[in-house]
Structure 1
Amino acid sequence: MFKEFREFVSQGNVVDMAIGVLIGGAFNGLVASLTKNILGPLIGMFTNSVDLSSISFKIGAARFTIGTFLNDLIQFLIMMFVIFLIVKSFNKLRELGKTKAEEEAAEVTQQEQYLKEIRDLLAQQETAHKQ
């Protein structure tokens, strides 16, 4: 059982995922700091509040912390934009990484398809002439 676990952990996908989780956690802290320490005060200049998280209002006994939500929304948008850029970059690299052999194999496959269609048509014509 330990051997199977070691093989599972040593696979590239698991190690890559673990590295991604660690980097993502560190990046999340960076984005949170950016939002709280730089973007929040910049937006706060227009709302007369230094810290966005202090923006709130009360209705009866309920307190709505709009500023905290805005901080979370800004962090979410930054993370999604960065993920979009990463995925877009990987897709471009994947397209560039296609080898000519793969492209030729795709062309051969299409040529083979045409040849099969021609063969089938010839076989149909042959059976039609025999009848």
Structure 2
Amino acid sequence: MGSFLQEFKNFAIKGNMIDMAVGIVIGTAFNNVISTIVKKIVMPPLSLLTDDVNLSNKKYILRAATDSAEEVAIGYGEFMEVLIDFFIVAFTIFLVIKVINRFKKKSEDPHDKTVETPKDIQLLSNIERLMEEQNSFLKSKSTTSK
């Protein structure tokens, strides 16, 4: 039991759980921002363009409401709003990842001096340079000895 608790403690402290929690909190906040943008900024002009049609109220009625039964309907308008939310979120995430990858590529390029190269990339670059020098030295030594 002690090793299980130690393993969980290592998992939680090493950052995996913290990174995940931060991602979930930011994702939730981001989702609220996007939902508000869609409902309050995107949908009103779209409604004007479609003669004041409010998509969230659009539905296909399967059974009308009566005194004894509630209305049964398929709410396709709300589904369309959720799809618009999804596409805006997906596109935004795509753009953010594209920018992050561009910076990551720049930082991993040891010849690019505009961005500080991480130490591990610097070390690998130095090892690669030393190996190239060693190979060229060995090649020149083998051709001169013949």
Task: With the length of structure 1 as denominator, give the TM-score of the two structures.
Answer: 0.70
Amino acid at match of 2:92: V
Query: Which residue of structure 2 aligns with residue 83 of structure 1?
Result: 93
Q: What is the alpha-carbon distance in structure 2 between the residues aligned to residue 15 and residue 93 of structure 1? A: 24
| Deviations 1:80-130, CA, capped at 9 Å, x for gaps | 111112211221222122236233434555x38x66xx6xxx9xxxxxxxx
**Are 2:40 and 1:37 aligned?**
yes
Which residues of 2 match residues 86-97 of structure 1 at below 5 A? 86-97=96-107
Aligned residues: 120
Counterpart code for 2:93: I
Aligned match of 2:113: none
Task: Give the secondary-structure state (helix, strand or coil) at the position aligned to 1:49.
Answer: coil
CA distance in 1, matches of 2:19, 2:41: 31
Letter aligned with residue 37 of structure 1 = K
Q: Does 1:14 align with 2:48?
A: no
Cross-structure match for 2:127: 105
Helix, strand or coil for the counterpart of 1:97? Answer: helix
Preserved contact between residue 41 and residue 50 of structure 1 (Cα < 8 Å): no
Large movers: runs of 4+ above 4 Å: none
Determine helix, strand or coil for the equivalent of 1:26: helix
Distance 1:45 1:75 in 2: 19
Give the superposition deviation at 1:50.
Answer: 5.2
Compute the RMSD of aligned alpha carbons.
Answer: 3.1
Q: Distance in 2 between matches of 1:89 and 1:16?
A: 20
Gap change, CA 1:13 and 1:94, over 3 Å in 2: farther
Q: Percent identity?
A: 31
Q: Which structure 1 segments of 5+ residues have no match?
A: 123-131
Q: TM-score, normalization: structure 2?
A: 0.64
1:85 alignment partner AA = L
Deviations 1:21-50 (A, max 9, x none): 111011111111111122111111122235
**More helix per residue:** 1
CA distance in 1, matches of 2:40, 2:53: 10
Note the residue ranges of structure 2 that are not aligned, 5 or more in a row: 64-71, 109-116
**Distance in 2 separating the partners of 1:11 and 1:107:** 34
Moved more, 100-109 or 22-31: 100-109
| Mapped contact 1:9–1:15 kept (Cα < 8 A) | yes
